[in-house]
Structure 1
């Protein structure tokens, strides 16, 4: 008798274990293996709900709640089956029980986001965005594309700012997404600056990413506002150009390739090794209308005196070329009043013998731009 009892107990344990293992992956089989698996019934009810099989889903959900009264998935399935008119009554009460049972059920959090948005309760909606983003790996791909465009609403942007300043676990991935999407720049610039100046700050790679994306999208006013807020405004007026800053192309972007390499050196400036003609570096300026001069200090490591460094400057965003009058290491140009608030300045290397295999190396120093006088 004892052996029979032990055998039955072992079989019971096996059935329950198998059913528990299958409750998410194959809930229908889990129920067949162990008919009292309420969690599996809740999962299956949710899947039937998504397929529109409402009658069967409701029956399973009720059975699941009776078997496991505190199961979040079962409660959620039952709550979502209530008629739309019940969202402030029975459905809401059931869904509140579901979220008390678990903050980590993504579909429950999605339901509450939609509910609170419909009620105009932005603070509560953002709270459930937070719960949802903490609930599963797939949540970011579902919620970020909804949340970022919604920040065109000032109230939503303010609520997101308040949440981000608390540094939830999804902060970095959200900033990376929002910086790259370009759908909420006007609001993200303010949020990013607030976070950059708080106690924790922003990692420099995130700041660089945002500077580069603003430049790539041609959002020059946003770029100017952002780097100015970081304490490194776009170069304007009379300034040195030698310093290699942290935020290209608001600072120098040093360009490199198989036959041309540019890198910062220990002094104020940068060095280069070139086996071909091409662009060494470029940056965005914010020069006001006026007459300007450029000066360049150049030190070559060999005696190849035919090497020249040339300036090129264009108006942004339409890339209209600004004529330059150049002499050796000197140049002058005019920034007009005609839609040329921002400019791209490029520095190029040229030597006809580079195409024949010549290699030239050297350093750029003492670079500056000076406004000679304003346009009358």
Structure 2
């Protein structure tokens, strides 16, 4: 009854300090009147006489002292509360607010850390506040140091902020700093943040963040030419499979790397594989190698490079794999007014019973001469 009907529980057991403390906490809620707070303080002091370890009673005294403007008393009582237990969320939130008021960033994050490690409901309350604070460079730097200590709530926060942070660019700066501390973000968090940055039009920030978590990439050429990454949750800058309406497309492990394998029913056409590019203006060559493609020229698959708005920059047909030992190549020119591009492998409809099947084990788009 002390949880469901604390007033009734107090009537039945007025000597129980734990119940008296819970009643004091209920009466000192955000909407409490002056009279209710006075009664809450009286009950809190009574609870501590009955049970000196009744932490909710201490929390009541802390909060009510703060509301009366007596911060010095609130801090003194908080010290006693912390001696008893660090698990009371109300006093911990007060400590956070007190540290914020004093401009104490390390103290604020220390109390965040304690609250998030000791309360299951704390993330719902504190994560939204914390992600709003990462736009401040000083807070972001201190938060990186906190997360570098690998707190139990760290991975949960990283996943949360990747999709919910109000400022995607500030989130990217946070993740880049974490990467330098060898705190690797999950593929899902990386993909979510890249998507947010691109959706908001921050292509340069999206690439900067992606390159920080994917060492060795070069914006002047496509990535993962031999399909070895095979990410479970790819970002727009990785290879993205299209498997829809009977089209089957997979990336599999091969003898010398990975293999992109596809099967398209005879009546269908459309995209099979796609990767976003951020190429500077200039001339580029696409080179690759296919296996098992064997059909009439008019129905052969082809690579196309689109500008972000859909304008086509050219096509490179993938010939039958029996030609030139399966090698294919072609050229594109990226104009100055084409900020971002999409490299896509397209299938064409065919009247062959087997449809379109085949594999690509190598493809690379690079500057001519580079």
Higher Rg of the two aligned structures: 1
SS at match of 2:301: strand
Contact 2:62 2:75 in 1 (8 A): yes
Q: Distance in 1 between matches of 2:146 and 2:280?
A: 39
2:365 alignment partner, one of 362, 369, 372: 369
Q: Which residue of 2 aligns with 1:38?
A: 17
Of 241-250 and 362-371, deviating more is: 241-250
Shift of 1:208: 4.6
Shift of 1:78: 1.4
Q: Which residue of 2 aligns with 1:277?
A: 269
Shift of 1:200: 6.2
Q: Which residue of 2 aligns with 1:147?
A: 130
TM-score where L is the length of structure 1: 0.82
1:185 alignment partner, one of 168, 171, 189: 168
What is the correspondence of 1:164-183 to structure 2 with a 5 Å cutoff?
Answer: 164-183=147-166
SS at match of 1:59: helix
SS at match of 1:367: strand
Q: Does 1:77 align with 2:92?
A: no
Q: Distance in 2 between matches of 1:293 and 1:83?
A: 69
What is the correspondence of 1:95-106 to structure 2 with a 5 Å cutoff?
Answer: 95-106=78-89
Q: Distance in 1 between matches of 2:310 and 2:241?
A: 22
Change (3 A) 1:206 1:323: closer
2:39 alignment partner, one of 29, 39, 56: 56
What is the correspondence of 1:214-363 to structure 2 with a 5 Å cutoff?
Answer: 214-215=197-198, 217-232=200-215, 234-237=217-220, 242-244=225-227, 245=229, 246=231, 247-265=234-252, 266=254, 267-275=257-265, 276-300=268-292, 303=295, 306-316=298-308, 319-324=309-314, 326=316, 330-338=329-337, 340-353=338-351, 359-363=355-359
1:107-128 alpha-carbon deviations (Å, 9 max, x no partner)? 1111111111111111101111
SS at match of 2:333: strand
Q: Distance in 2 between matches of 1:132 and 1:286?
A: 43
Aligned residues: 348
Q: CA RMSD in A?
A: 2.8
Contact 1:240 1:367 in 2 (8 A): no
Q: Distance in 1 between matches of 2:43 and 2:186?
A: 49
Of 218-227 and 283-292, deviating more is: 218-227
Contact 1:290 1:373 in 2 (8 A): no
1:115-172 alpha-carbon deviations (Å, 9 max, x no partner)? 1111111110111111111232221111111100111111111111110000111001
Q: Which residue of 1 aligns with 2:117?
A: 134
Change (3 A) 1:83 1:363: closer
Shift of 1:180: 0.9
Of 194-203 and 285-294, deviating more is: 194-203
SS at match of 1:28: helix
1:328-358 alpha-carbon deviations (Å, 9 max, x no partner)? 65543322223x343222221112438xx75
Shift of 1:79: 1.6
Shift of 1:68: 1.9
Change (3 A) 1:39 1:157: same
Q: Distance in 1 between matches of 2:334 and 2:295?
A: 36
Q: Distance in 2 between matches of 1:344 and 1:116?
A: 49
Q: Distance in 2 between matches of 1:207 and 1:229?
A: 11
Q: Does 1:121 align with 2:120?
A: no
1:37-79 alpha-carbon deviations (Å, 9 max, x no partner)? 1111111111111141323322222222222223211011112
Q: Distance in 1 between matches of 2:218 and 2:72?
A: 60
Shift of 1:105: 0.9
> Which ranges in structure 1 are unaligned for 5 or more consecutive residues?
1-21
Shift of 1:305: 5.1
Shift of 1:278: 1.6
> Which ranges in structure 2 are unaligned for 5 or more consecutive residues?
320-327
